Structure 1
């Protein structure tokens, strides 16, 4: 099954498959209807402390990736829940960050894809 990522503010497409929001906080300015989220997995997002530390600073990207992977290793229940959800069909991990190259959904997609 394909596992894609995209910003939640992009329009829903048929090719998205199951739309899974992987942010801990609901995206600003977006209604639940407009978001068209099938599943919201808050617990798979980076911890609040890690999110605050990173602050979307590209200079911290390498270390953020390492720390977030460590969190994912420790968070087996959330990882297993995500894997269970994506076994059924194609899926898209949705995130709200503006930075398309430095966000946790990239790390999560790679982490899940390594299995």
Structure 2
């Protein structure tokens, strides 16, 4: 039905639906029981090398292109298909620790899911 991106540091919202952490590393300062994360598909996150490259000064446009290529890999593609199925069933909230979710991998995922 719908998908959105929120920061994991925000309080859970009753309208979040399925809460999916889309970061490879668990966010600092967030207790697992307080996060109310339903799924954590690490295979859907950017590779460590890509993440390091991007945070080292890589352009968002190039990051986006490389990350989309990573999403075509079999494991990531299967996880993405599963997430698409969840979106068809109801609301999905993608959670990230990124300070700028609109210029992160979470935004790329949002667009891949039709959000």
State whether residues 20 and 93 of structure 2, in contact with CA within 8 Å, keep that contact through their aligned partners in structure 1.
yes
Does residue 15 (structure 1) correspond to residue 15 (structure 2)? The answer is yes
Any unmatched runs of 5+ in structure 2? Answer: none
Any unmatched runs of 5+ in structure 1? Answer: none
State whether residues 9 and 96 of structure 1, in contact with CA within 8 Å, keep that contact through their aligned partners in structure 2.
yes
3-state DSSP of counterpart to 1:69: helix
- Counterpart residue number, 2:92: 91
What is the distance in 1 between the residues matched to 2:86 and 2:25? Answer: 20
What is the distance in 2 between the residues matched to 1:2 and 1:89? Answer: 6
TM-score (norm 1): 0.89
Name segments (4+ residues, structure 1) moved above 4 Å.
Answer: none
Change (3 A) 1:108 1:60: same
- Counterpart residue number, 2:36: 36
CA-atom RMSD in angstroms:
1.6
Deviation at 1:105, TM superposition (A): 0.3
State whether residues 21 and 41 of structure 1, in contact with CA within 8 Å, keep that contact through their aligned partners in structure 2.
yes
CA deviation digits over 1:83-105, x for unaligned, max 9? 23333211100011112331110
* Number of residues of Structure 1 aligned to a counterpart in Structure 2: 113
What is the distance in 2 between the residues matched to 1:14 and 1:69? Answer: 31
